[in-house]
Amino acid sequence: ILTEVPTELCHFVSLETLNLYHNCIKIIPDAIVNLQMLTYLNLSRNQLSSLPACLCGLPLKVLIASNNKLGSLPEEIGQLKQLMELDVSCNEITALPQQIGQLKSLKELNVRRNYLEVLPQELVQLPLVKFDFSCNKVLVIPICFRKMVHLQVLLLENNPLQSPPAQVSNIYNLNCALVLGG
């Protein structure tokens, strides 16, 4: 079990995949920016309370940081233009930065089991196919979400939604796993 990312790891500049799953890592070193070929990064099941901004300078296509102690995402997250999958489920995130709307390649977003109360309207700009925001504190689904034309799977159970989200029924191609309650 690792308690920190080995410095030597950041010298493997041709590394494309890095799996640090299930360790006790609390901090990601800035030297990770040296891994300029890295497209897949799994940081799940660690003890991270934040993601460094420099991480957003990598050519990541998949970023998995579930089951940590993240309270937020860096505003620089919008720099990850090639990111296709983002999983930050089971953390302590209270809000998503507006810059998340700049992730022009994002197909899958998992923010399940966090403390989100509001979904930013910027999410409508994403080509999301699957969006999981179940087990949060979301009261309202923004009406603009009906413009999410690529969305096929929407998981939203266990949120204190104030009313059934009729506007999501207008989403083309949606296979909605809709379970209200909370």
Q: How many CB atoms lie within 10 A of CB 70?
A: 21
> Looking at the predicted structure, is the pLDDT value of residue 182 above 50?
no
> Looking at the predicted structure, is the pLDDT value of residue 180 above 90?
no
Determine, yes or no, domain membership for 63. yes
Determine, yes or no, domain membership for 1. no
Residue among 133, 115, 128 at smallest CA distance from 179:
133
Determine, yes or no, domain membership for 139. yes
pLDDT of residue 143: 86
Residues 78/103, Cβ–Cβ less than 8 Å? yes
- Give pTM, 2 decimals: 0.92
What's the rounded Cα separation, in Å, for the pair 31 and 172? Answer: 43
Determine, yes or no, domain membership for 167. yes
Q: 10 forms bridges with which residues in the sheet?
A: none
Q: Which pLDDT band, with edges at 50, 70 and 90, does 162 fall under?
A: confident
pLDDT of residue 59: 99
**The CATH number of the domain where 162 resides is what?**
3.80.10.10
Determine, yes or no, domain membership for 41. yes
Average pLDDT of the chain? 92
Determine, yes or no, domain membership for 2. no
Report percent pLDDT > 70 for the chain.
Answer: 89
Determine, yes or no, domain membership for 171. yes
Q: What is the DSSP-derived secondary structure letter of residue 135?
A: S
Q: How many CB atoms lie within 10 A of CB 157?
A: 16
pLDDT of residue 170: 59
Determine, yes or no, domain membership for 121. yes
Look up the domain containing 30 and give its range: 7-177
pLDDT of residue 181: 43
Q: What is the pLDDT of residues 23-56, one digit of tens each?
A: 999 999 999 999 999 999 999 999 999 999 999 9
Number of domains into which the chain is organized: 1
Q: What is the pLDDT of residues 82-128, one digit of tens each?
A: 999 999 999 999 999 999 999 999 999 999 999 999 999 999 999 99
What's the rounded Cα separation, in Å, for the pair 56 and 75? Answer: 9
